Structure 1
Amino acid sequence: MDRSRSRPASHPDMIVSQEPFDRLCDEIEDTGLAAFDTEFVSESYYQPKLCLVQLATPLGAYLVDPLTVPDLSRWWDLMIDDHTTIIVHGGREEIRFCQRYAGEMPRRLIDVQVAEGLLSRGYPLAYKNIVNKVMGVAVGSHETRSDWERRPLAPKQLEYAVEDVKFLPEIWNRQSQTLDKLERLDWAFAEFERLIENIRLEKDREGWRKLPGVLRFSAREQAVARALHEWRDRVAEEQDRPPRVMFRDDMLVDLVKRMPKSVQDMNLTRGMQRRDYQSYAEEIIRVIQDAATSAPSEWPQSFMNRANPPLDDVLAKLLSLALANRCAEMNLSMSLVGTMADIDELVRWHVFDKQQGELPKLMSGWRADVCGDLLTDLLDGHVSLRVSNPRSDAPLRFDRRS
């Protein structure tokens, strides 16, 4: 089969038409494996705009121009089938692109950044650091701020784009062998599934809950914040603009606090005199007043965290030390195993919720094997800790009390 139009070179040409792209998809389907990366711009659009697709198979690395290839659906179908393994690095955006264009999540996804977090204490490691660590090869990162939408792309951009994907198959090959020897391969696949599930759940999370200071709002103010956030998102999508560029978070929050009843009141807020804001002034007031005067039964359910018991913070810090020491012993990345929020969740569940309800993250799956018993034994007073070797990466020792 003639692949002359898609064969990689030191200065690779992009695949810019349908026929060579379809041939590349044939190759991927035959091999059952592809590394995948993307370049995109997000500063000017409601959703990131896909500007370049990088793919690598055992036969080589390829660049695809999504701005000129009419139909990429064959690739998205491969991402969601049960036979093609997709390898990425820090692939959250690649998963989102798959979700957007295929309408589903990838079925067989490998993320080498996650895998490396199960083999070392560095997570998340940049791509160039993983390539250097695993392959012993130095790659550059000088094109990370490139304008990927502009055409033609420069040779340096093309070289960078190929480097971003061509090492991924061999990196995973080496990582998987090490994970298997350490009996952590199942851990890796569980984390890949967790990554996908977390992205799947993003759409179910209400974005207004992330607004600064919203935890301190009254239920009525939260209703207004939700309404303004939904209005902003709808208008931004209509205009294909980033929501925060169209209307900044801090200004939205200020309107919630002031809750103006007229355009004149609204204009007392600094910055609201901008012409583009004024064009929406009446609409903004209507959104605010409709939400503010709605029935309390329609307001958001409160999501204030209950006050921390006095020892909560101290206990969480104690468990954090224990978890850090255990991760050092096992050469695991603590930031992948558990965050302070995960530790706090465990303390609340074990001490204050009397171990009722859903198991905390640190008590589930492979994490329970790594640290679950240690952390709960500490909380129950079954073990004590002391400094054993202050020069060690894992200086603490935990002794079971008789």
Structure 2
Amino acid sequence: MNFEYIDTPEALSDFCERISAADALAIDTEFVRTRTLVPQLGLIQVYDGEHLGLIDPVALDDLSPFSDILVNPSIIKVLHSCSEDLDALWFNLKVIPSPLFDSQFAANLLDMGQTLGYANLVEKILDIHVDKGESRTDWIARPLSPEQLVYAAADVFHLLPVYRQIAEQVEELGQTEWVFAESEFLSLKKRAEIPVDLTYLSIKNNWKIGAQSRQALKEIASWRLQQAQKRDMAINFVLREQGMLEVAMKLPENKAKLFQLQTITPKEARIHSDILLELVQKALNTKPEDCPPRIQRLTDFNDYKKALASLKDVCEKLAQKHDTRVEVLASKKQLNQWLKWCWFEIDELDSIQLQPDIVSGWRRAIFAEELTRLFKADGGEFYALRSL
């Protein structure tokens, strides 16, 4: 396995020119995301079947020649379990590969497993063992050892021949479009940003608190994210979620009460006491009717269990019709996502102008008719605040 290490603008330009005529590229990324909000990109591996390059984003300030490759519509970009790679590329390069073929999703269509790892896929398809010994490497540190570089190169060297085989099998099923559409919809979600003032909706146990506590949680969650963005710090290193929720629940009005909270460390209280007390006071000065509405849960709805059972029946019926497995069409989480979108007064999807997974991308044509029958704002078996 031969590869080239690319750490100069000239080498990058030359490499990108050589791979620009490829029909498909196997791509992987190595990054570090321990204390930072944004993943720190440490290496980009690319293979076209002839040229294998390890691009060093630490050494290169301008990666635009490779960014152009990523969005070239004539080249299929192949990644395995691509969600975190897309995060790394989007945050660092502000591009997302397209068209994109996720080999993990394709393997799921072929009934190889819903979350089959890269090493297991290579072994299953090529009967080759892939060493994962360097997976815990600090990819930002330099220099990288020869063993680390070989490990990184292997992640794309085997991916391309795997792609050739499973792409052919998916084509025989008539589901190639599903793979590309799934990746395209995931890319849309990666680009979307939930408004800062709605980040409190994702905090666990937020439904337990009253009106002014919800206002405090909204203020604190917004502040925490803004601090994390400003300092490029993982949000729990700004303030842990449990502490944030306890502040909102207890609404301490002075430092003595703040320091008595069980889930706020003395260090957190000392550093953030002024702003936390300011945000608590702001919430206490807000009239209850002006605070965020009560946070809903699916279990609050009398029809929830019946509706979920009906959706599962629909999935079974559609899976048989389209000769696939229920797990491919929709998970329980995706069915719950649809119900929240139908029933909740405030839903995160509305804020980013996206619809639920089961009525987006390739799934829409499959589900739309059945869901319209079940959920209509003007009638139907189940009430909905909105309909398709």
Rounded to whole Å, the distance in 1 between the matches of 2:370 and 2:230 is 52
Corresponding position: 1:122 with 2:113: yes
Rounded to whole Å, the distance in 2 between the matches of 1:378 and 1:202 is 30
Rounded to whole Å, the distance in 1 between the matches of 2:366 and 2:273 is 55
* 1:148-174 residue CA offsets vs partner (Å, 9 max, x unmatched): 222222222212111111222222222
- Residue in 2 that maps onto 1:211: 203
- Residue in 2 that maps onto 1:53: 44
Over 3 Å counting, the alpha-carbon distance change for 1:23 and 1:363 in structure 2 is closer
Over 3 Å counting, the alpha-carbon distance change for 1:166 and 1:239 in structure 2 is same
Q: Is the 8 A contact 2:28 2:79 kept in 1?
A: yes
- Residue in 1 that maps onto 2:145: 154
Rounded to whole Å, the distance in 2 between the matches of 1:234 and 1:374 is 42
Note the C-alpha offset of 1:269.
Answer: 0.9
- After TM superposition, list the pairs within 5 Å mapping 1:63-78 onto structure 2: 63-78=54-69
Q: Is the radius of gyration larger for structure 1 or structure 2?
A: 1
Rounded to whole Å, the distance in 1 between the matches of 2:342 and 2:91 is 39
Rounded to whole Å, the distance in 2 between the matches of 1:307 and 1:57 is 50
Note the C-alpha offset of 1:93.
Answer: 2.3
Q: Is the 8 A contact 2:185 2:361 kept in 1?
A: no
Over 3 Å counting, the alpha-carbon distance change for 1:344 and 1:286 in structure 2 is closer
| Residue identity matched to 1:168 | L
Corresponding position: 1:242 with 2:234: yes
| Secondary structure of the corresponding residue to residue 154 of structure 2 | helix
Over 3 Å counting, the alpha-carbon distance change for 1:73 and 1:364 in structure 2 is closer
Corresponding position: 1:290 with 2:290: no
Over 3 Å counting, the alpha-carbon distance change for 1:25 and 1:363 in structure 2 is closer
- Residue in 2 that maps onto 1:256: 248
Q: Which moved more, 1:212-221 or 1:337-346?
A: 337-346
| Residue identity matched to 1:216 | K
Note the C-alpha offset of 1:30.
Answer: 2.8
* 1:245-297 residue CA offsets vs partner (Å, 9 max, x unmatched): 23111111111111111111101113545335402211221122223323556
- Residue in 2 that maps onto 1:94: 85
| Residue identity matched to 1:197 | L
Which residue of 142, 159, 175 corresponds with 2:166?
A: 175
**Structure 2 length as normaliser, TM-score?**
0.80
| Residue identity matched to 1:191 | E
Rounded to whole Å, the distance in 2 between the matches of 1:214 and 1:378 is 30
Q: Is the 8 A contact 1:42 1:48 kept in 2?
A: yes
Q: Is the 8 A contact 1:117 1:332 kept in 2?
A: no
Note the C-alpha offset of 1:127.
Answer: 0.8
| Secondary structure of the corresponding residue to residue 287 of structure 1 | helix
Q: Which moved more, 1:118-127 or 1:233-242?
A: 233-242
Which residue of 183, 195, 203 corresponds with 1:192?
A: 183
Over 3 Å counting, the alpha-carbon distance change for 1:63 and 1:370 in structure 2 is same
- Residue in 2 that maps onto 1:392: none
| Residue identity matched to 2:207 | L
| Secondary structure of the corresponding residue to residue 147 of structure 1 | coil
Rounded to whole Å, the distance in 1 between the matches of 2:342 and 2:226 is 42
Which residue of 2, 13, 26 corresponds with 1:35?
A: 26
**Cα RMSD after superposing both structures:** 3.4
| Residue identity matched to 1:245 | F
Aligned residues, how many?
364
Note the C-alpha offset of 1:142.
Answer: 2.3
| Secondary structure of the corresponding residue to residue 37 of structure 1 | strand
Rounded to whole Å, the distance in 1 between the matches of 2:185 and 2:361 is 11
- Residue in 2 that maps onto 1:397: none
Note the C-alpha offset of 1:49.
Answer: 0.7
Q: Is the 8 A contact 1:323 1:375 kept in 2?
A: no
Q: Is the 8 A contact 2:258 2:269 kept in 1?
A: no
**Structure 1 length as normaliser, TM-score?**
0.78
Q: Could you tell me the percent identity over the aligned residues?
A: 23
- Residue in 2 that maps onto 1:140: 131
* 1:302-361 residue CA offsets vs partner (Å, 9 max, x unmatched): 44136555564256357547846975997745443211133456789999xxxxxx9975
Rounded to whole Å, the distance in 2 between the matches of 1:284 and 1:377 is 48
Over 3 Å counting, the alpha-carbon distance change for 1:362 and 1:151 in structure 2 is closer
Q: Which moved more, 1:227-236 or 1:194-203?
A: 194-203
Structure 1: gaps of 5 or more residues: 1-7, 352-357, 380-402
Over 3 Å counting, the alpha-carbon distance change for 1:276 and 1:107 in structure 2 is same
Rounded to whole Å, the distance in 2 between the matches of 1:230 and 1:241 is 14
